Amino acid sequence: MADGNGGFVLTLNGGSSSLKFALYAAGQAAPDMRGQFDRLGRAGTTFRVRRAEGRQEELPVEAKDHAGALAYLFDWLDTTMAHARLVAIGHRIVHGGPRYRSHSVVDDALVEELGRIVDYAPEHLPAEIAMLEFCRERHPGVLQVACFDTAFHRDMPAVARLLPLPRRFAGVERYGFHGLSYSFLLQELERSFGQDAARGRLILAHLGNGASLAAVHGGRSVDTSMSFTPAAGIPMGTRTGDIDPGLVRYLAKTEGMDAEAFDRMVNHESGLLGVSGTSSDLRELLAAEGSDHRAAEAVDLFCYRVRQAIGGFAAVLGGVDRLVFTGGIGENAPVIRERVCAGLEFLGIALDQGFNAQGRAIISKPSSAVPVHVMATDEEAIIAEAVTAHLQQENLAL
């Protein structure tokens, strides 16, 4: 994924306390290496990298934030790949707001607009803006492309985008997220099962610490569970998902909770962590549910709300042709997949318990009217493709 002249494309995918990267060489669909920084801003930050030939490294590093991790990464690349020519950098950006509804070349206007809408996604945009600015300073002549998670949902019907608020709040609408992941799943469905499969009535469930579902038909997003911010939708690791807006006033009156405290509660203290009182990690909650009723309730709530979303999207789509699980939970937690699908037989979903336990690519029975898939997602691949497209456009322009 490069310019065809021996250069490399670097993809960057920042999370709240992590940073994933991949390096793609010219003409290659698979990366030369992938890596990740974990526990950014905390003690014990680690840097892990895996090369294409399978060799892996893990090193302790000091990086208090994403910019610090980038400084370490670029120094490391300069040392280990001294003769490599970096031709482009692709960034995953969570929110593009009302202006940026497709992947775009980074320029002053884009950075300025992200700064203007920073409160659209205050948990993500500040770090992403800092990474953009750091890369522009470190590699001023290198093409940079912003790849927006919201871009996948830009064609949602107007009724799915609307929020029932006064019209004067310009830009306040349902945007949706996890778009890079959903784009990859569509590509994989088409590659493995053909165009008809990818253009059918699909429900895609990206289940991880951050989780959402999308209803897709004809290759386009029809609806999604997240909304104006990634805090909406189903309960997540520490996020509430959808809650009663009347809680804002109630908690302000009874607890003296201001907007900042409410935001902190919604994004960092709720979800699985809030209900269980112990952990945001479903693995820990599943291990404890036999002896801890609060852990069991947290797991039950998560599965219930995912199942509820699937039922709602089936109604929106007028039926379901395929259900796809992805994300850390979706790919690795067969018991969650089984509980989510329990009771969905009326939609034509019939899970095979053996296939599910083995983590097969298709976990439904051969007789199931609706195939149920488990797919590993690859947001970096979508970023690299978008960057390559912009590089090709630049070459044609020359």
Contact 221, 200 (CB under 8 A): no
| 237 close to 265: Cβ distance less than 8 angstroms | no
Q: Which residues are catalytic?
A: 149
**Parallel, antiparallel, or unpaired: how do β-strands 85-93 and 7-14 relate?**
parallel
SS (H, E, C) the chain: CCCCCCEEEEEEEECCCCEEEEEEECCCCCCCEEEEEECCCCCCCEEEEEECCCCEEEEECCCCCHHHHHHHHHHHHHHHCCCCEEEEEEEEECCCCCCCCCCEECCHHHHHHHHHCHHHCCCCHHHHHHHHHHHHHHCCCCEEEEEEHHHHHCCCCHHHHCCCCCCCCCCCCCCCCCHHHHHHHHHHHHHHHCHHHHCCCEEEEECCCCCEEEEEECCEEEEECCCCCCCCCCCCCCCCCCCCCCHHHHHHHHHCCCHHHHHHHHHHCCHHHHHHCCCCCHHHHHHHCCCCHHHHHHHHHHHHHHHHHHHHHHHHHCCCCEEEEEHHHHHHCHHHHHHHHCCCHHHCCCECHHHHHHCCCECECCCCCCCEEECCCCHHHHHHHHHHHHHHHHHHHC
